[in-house]
Structure 1
Amino acid sequence: MKPKAMCGATEVYPVDILEDDPQAYQTAAEGYYDLLRDGGQTSTEVFSLPTGEQVRLESSSLCFCSMYCDEPQHKILVLVNPQDTKTVVAVYLKESWWSMEDVLRTSDPTREGLMKVQSFGERIVLFVLNTIVFGRLERNLDDDDMFFLPHPTKEQAKIMWRDGAAVGFYSIKRKGSLCGGGTSACYLLPVFDTVFVRRKNRCQGLGTAMLRDFCDTFQEDEALGISCPISPAMYKVLRQFLLTYPGERGRLWEVEPPGAWGQRFNIWLKVYLQEAKLQDGVDHQRTRNDTELPRICQKREGSWDAPETFLA
């Protein structure tokens, strides 16, 4: 069911062998699906789940998923769990079925740390991490956890590789890029848009590393955005990051597109107000601090006017 390993490698994975020809893979997948659906190919093969359960490879267990939010016609064929048809268990690539974990692995030792998404294979990894692993497998569907749509076709993103596996990603809205379909508005600053780290790799500093990489990538920009709304978990990461790197406190803003000054709120200030509220048991929106917010957050002559010490 899978290609043989290359010479010198113990295993090969899709990200290492896929050519940048997504249409060819989609055409092959459509042909395979049509054969199963029309009875032209009777499959007795099964795919084994980690639980030991086996899923028969037949058209009723297959569906096509759109890879991009802006070009839904580009799709990949996936195998779903018959007991939960919204849960993907394998992806059809290069005339083979690959488990989710295999799609996220690499045999290339140079893939380590944060690496920019460039190839079609890396786009597949980004899609699986975002839409399948986060979107269904590792997100608590019973609470208000944030939900990410598939990324646009040319979304700038970086994948975090560790010990031969993709363990997270973050994506960026570049300054000057369109805010979305149906609008001519463009982002006025670079924005850290979506971020995800797999559960088993959390509390290891990876979120902080991604923020550090984002800030370093745009060293020349005076202001950087974090896409609104920010989840409570992400606020904890931001708090730790800004405690560790105080020089970034005046640069990071929670923003709504396109990120004009009236659409920004300084993250360090918000962290300070939240912690002060917890410490004092006072609603700061009804205190003198609230009257100071316009002055605190105001842009004055190229510099950020803010209190010198928060959370000292």
Structure 2
Amino acid sequence: MKKKKKIAIIMGGDTEESVISLKSGKEVYNNLNKEEFDPYQIHIFRDKWVLIDNKTNHEYFVNKHDFTVCLSENQILKFDCVFNVIHGTPGEDGILQAYFHLLKIPYTGCHFHHASITFNKKYCLSLLREFGINTAVSFFLNKNQSFCEKKIFNKVGLPCFVKPNRSGSSLGISKVYEKEKFFYAVEKAFKIDNEIIIESYLKGTEISVGVISFNNKIKVLPITEIISKNDFFDFESKYSGESQEITPARLFPKVEKEIQILSKKIYQILNLSGISRSEYILVNGVPFFLEINTVPGLSEESIFPKQLKIAGISLSDFFKNVIYSSIGWKKIEK
């Protein structure tokens, strides 16, 4: 009988996104084939790393030195692969990926150095601009750095967006219409990160595009059109039903094809693997890249699973493919 792979599903994290991450982790756990995998739910928070027994809710502490779990005096649990569903730090910015890389434990998603670039909006946007990718006009600020508001407004205009440079789920983002509200938005963003990005407002249609590595091929999933009931696609819009999501998006075939080619190109430029989801604004049919998520939400309310469903790919098959490609990639890397 084939030995089942022991899979650590890591979830939680250090940000407000941890609530969404726990839902994503539960979805992965529920959809893994239990005849082929032994999945374990690992909660990783700033103050503790624990394995949660699904039947008893008993907590077993994770040994951070080698990422093992002592289940009993004579039973030490070691994992064949880590399935990463931590949104934001430390699961999406390369920190945990580098940790597992050092321990030589295969993990899902992109390499740690690619994660550190994609999670940093400044680095990611700067890199993609070198390849001719359209982006909003932007201005970067470090905490405690002096700045001239007039210079910023002359460059990005009003309204504009003020964002933490390293954050997800639209946390800490403000849309600024008036100069008087700018300083408040800057303070709000600096509460999340010590680097912020100020971007020009792009008027158009927001879309979300999932790209995956599936059966050793890069596949672009059906595109989602986002219509937010709020002023923009903020945290409430994403997770409280304050938006309408239309998949497939209502696009002209030519525009759809261009976005598919562009999304695949960005995936290759960033040298990604596994899952990604990119956000764009379509301005008169021209896509402008906003950001990319390499650990997107996998809960029932999330965009990515809906795109998979329309593509005809079950969560069970997709998760299986992600795990085995991660294990295979790690063997090749050794």
Which bracket does the TM-score occupy, shorter chain normalised? Answer: under 0.3
Q: Which has the higher strand share?
A: 2
Higher relative contact order (CA 8 A, sep 6+): 2
Taking structure 2 as the reference length, the TM-score comes to: 0.25
Whichever of the two has the greater Rg, that structure is 1
